[in-house]
Chain A
């Protein structure tokens, strides 16, 4: 088990290789479909994403009526491939060093990871409770107008469990598994 702690950097994530199981401690920003399209359309993100990690996640959140404080009650990853048209630009233009999601991403993102120093971390899809437990505080909410699941949530996490499935050296576990399973598929069809 490896560790990654805040502040993050391209140098630190370049150390990781496909298959590494990593516990992340520090800050995460959620961002999914609406946020990526918003940035792609030329809008500046409301937070500085330099050396930050984006988490493809639309959490279940509850607001305490008295204190007005938010808690996240379920927070697993959403399917990342929908951000494939946009992710490489966000890596290039805003300097993010990590993407957390599920299902993996494509060649454009893989190339950007290699060129700019970024890693794709796979969280276990559907494990919303285990992952929500790792969120220690909700530190900010941006672009709330997109709806709560689509907004940017600034979260502090501790020992957030992920697996590196696309590293900064051009390797992708998704590509490997797809190619291997394609060979098997040919033999059983």
Chain B
């Protein structure tokens, strides 16, 4: 081999190696999508199991919880989607300074396309103007990707698959709400959140979990509410007044008797997580993001050298 050819081959190999490393991030993201779509995180599984034992035996509620349990096991075993509505695909990427966001977003898109081909995601993205479904889950605003710079040196990626049924029963209130007698205070907040759960009935595939934001403008308020769903179910709110309200809302909503699937029963809500954001004096929004029992969110820490998954976050 001449020196020139050897150099050329070496260059080719190097390119191949580089592209292999790039594929590896896509592979890790694909694995994140697969696990998120097919395996219920431990913290949620734990609460669902407890709820199952609380329902009266031989009721439609306990029957529904039994099917939910079987479904969780089967989805994991078969590595197929827990729910056919694989939802809006929402990524939260936490990265160090100097990170190439556009490039990473391209990799996310590749992983989403691949996950759709493999059936971990349904062909779930529709053009709102034409009604066309391109079948790839890519399109205007899809997938939804949010980047955050953090001080750590690694890259963390969280993923939420937010189904349409529970998104449709999510709500935003503007205080005061005279029909509910809800004023511009925490008591008013409590009232509208419970009202949202009542309005949802079984339509959001309960037992549900809530993310709530008090304040903010309409857009941020809805986004922060949804982000609360990234919190682990067994954590505590660092603000005592919100911690208290989170617990109180769960216990009150479970008195409503809506139950799993709205069949009637004891478990209407498995969790409520709340946050707040400043508002302008004229506005007081309360946003409620309702998540179904098929609570799909997962996260990974990427190994910066190998691009492999270093750690699972839930």
Chain A residues with CB under 8 Å of chain B are: 19, 21, 34, 57-60, 62, 73-76, 78-79, 81, 102-104, 122, 124-130, 132-133, 147-150, 161, 163, 165, 173-174, 176-178, 180-182, 184-185, 188-189
Contact = CB atoms under 8 A, between A and B. Distances in A.
Given A128-B81, A177-B257, 6 more contacts: A75-B84, A81-B203, A103-B203, A163-B60, A174-B202, A185-B198
A163 B260 CA distance: 12
Interface string B288-302: 000011100000000
Contacts of B292: 125-126
Interface of B: 60, 63-64, 67-68, 70-71, 74-75, 78, 80-86, 119, 122-124, 126, 131-133, 135, 163-165, 168, 180-181, 191, 194-195, 198, 201-203, 205, 252, 255-259, 261-264, 292-294
B68 A127 contact: yes
B64 to A, nearest CB: 5
Contact of B84 (A57, A122, A150): A57
A133 B77 CA distance: 12
9 closest A-B pairs by CB = A147-B133, A125-B205, A103-B203, A74-B84, A126-B294, A129-B74, A127-B71, A128-B84, A126-B83
A185 B124 CA distance: 36
Contacts of A180: 257, 264
Of A60, A76, A126, chain B has the most CB atoms within 10 Å of the CB of A126
Is chain A's interface secondary structure helix, strand, loop, or mixed overall? mixed
Contacts of B63: 21, 163
Nearest to B132: A147
Contact of B261 (A122, A129, A132, A188): A122
Contacts of B181: 189
B41 to A, nearest CB: 15
A104 B194 contact: no
Contacts of B258: 177, 181
Contacts of A79: 164-165, 168, 203
A27 B300 CA distance: 42
B84 A189 contact: no
B64 A184 contact: no
Of A58, A81, A182, chain B has the most CB atoms within 10 Å of the CB of A58
A60 B264 contact: no
Contacts of A148: 123, 133, 135
5 contacts: A57-B84, A125-B292, A163-B63, A177-B259, A177-B264
A19 B135 CA distance: 38
A22 B196 CA distance: 31
A124 B265 CA distance: 14
Contacts of B74: 129-130, 133
A21 B61 CA distance: 11
Contacts of B256: 181, 184-185
Contact of B202 (A19, A102, A185): A102
A19 B77 CA distance: 31
A126 B132 CA distance: 25
Contacts of B70: 127, 130
A185 B133 contact: no
